[in-house]
Amino acid sequence: MSRQTMSFALPESMRDYIDERVSTGSYGNTSEYIRDLVRRDQEEQARKRLRDLIEEGLASGPGRRRTKGDEQELLAIARGDIE
């Protein structure tokens, strides 16, 4: 995995907070803390996307039973046979 260095400015109060989190042993270093924040944000965005899709589905109207043709089409899409 390639790693890139980022530099950014933080208010002293935020830097102090991060240093405190690291010094209590919750994180090994500042980079580990920042990576954890990014991972958590990615997970939250994925949950938001799922909630949005569920809401879209609910708003789309009543459901209908899936047919054998529907199943075959979905399998073909999953295999990459059709888009």
At 34-58, the pLDDT tens digits run 999 999 999 999 999 999 999 999 9
What does pTM read for this prediction? Answer: 0.68
- Give the integer Cα–Cα distance in Å for 9 and 45: 25
Give the mean pLDDT of 70-80: 93
Task: Determine the pLDDT at residue 2.
Answer: 75
Q: What is the separation of C-alpha 72 from the centre of its chain, rounded to a whole number of angstroms?
A: 30
For residues 1 and 58, the model is more confident at 58
pLDDT attached to residue 82: 85
